[in-house]
């Protein structure tokens, strides 16, 4: 999990370094219904560096809605594939690396502290 956290953090950072930073506008909030309840996903319209206007349907949804119609948002757009975008918000950038990193630290600590007494006992009995 720690390796996956590092991979997602590095690949996201590399993408943002290489991508164009543009300002988009939230034009709609899609309702996403699930068994856990309803949530709202922003629909963002943005303009690429060559003037093309595109629409991004975010799959990061929230309740209550994290954005409002007409709100300006910062986005990172791949200049080679302008439909490959990343919204500049906490969940879009940090959630996956932080979650995997936290879980990796917890599992590593559990593994270390459950094996540590045996390792310590073996070390002292050999001396």
Whether 121 maps to a domain, the answer reads: no
Whether 115 maps to a domain, the answer reads: no
Whether 30 maps to a domain, the answer reads: yes
Q: List, run by run, the mean pLDDT of 10-residue segments along the chain (127 residues).
A: 91 88 94 84 93 91 90 92 87 86 91 72 62
Whether 52 maps to a domain, the answer reads: yes
CA distance 15 to 65: 26
Whether 110 maps to a domain, the answer reads: no
In DSSP terms, 77 is beta-bridged to 20, 85
CA distance 58 to 101: 24
Whether 124 maps to a domain, the answer reads: no
Whether 105 maps to a domain, the answer reads: no
pLDDT score for 102: 94
How many domains is the chain partitioned into structurally?
A: 1
Task: State the pTM of this model.
Answer: 0.71
Whether 65 maps to a domain, the answer reads: yes
Domain extent for 59: 2-100
């Amino acid at each position: 999990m720690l390796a996956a956290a590092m991979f997602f953090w590095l690949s996201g950072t590399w993408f943002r370094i290489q991508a164009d930073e543009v300002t988009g506008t939230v034009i709609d909030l899609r309702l996403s219904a699930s068994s856990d309840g309803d949530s709202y996903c922003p629909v963002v319209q943005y303009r690429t560096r060559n003037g093309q206007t595109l629409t991004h349907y975010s799959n990061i949804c929230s309740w209550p809605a994290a954005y409002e119609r007409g709100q300006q948002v910062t986005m990172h757009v791949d200049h080679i594939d302008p439909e490959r975008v990343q919204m500049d918000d906490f969940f879009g950038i940090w959630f996956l690396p932080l979650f995997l990193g936290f879980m990796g630290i917890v599992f590593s600590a559990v593994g270390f502290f459950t094996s540590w007494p045996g390792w310590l006992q073996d070390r002292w009995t050999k001396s």
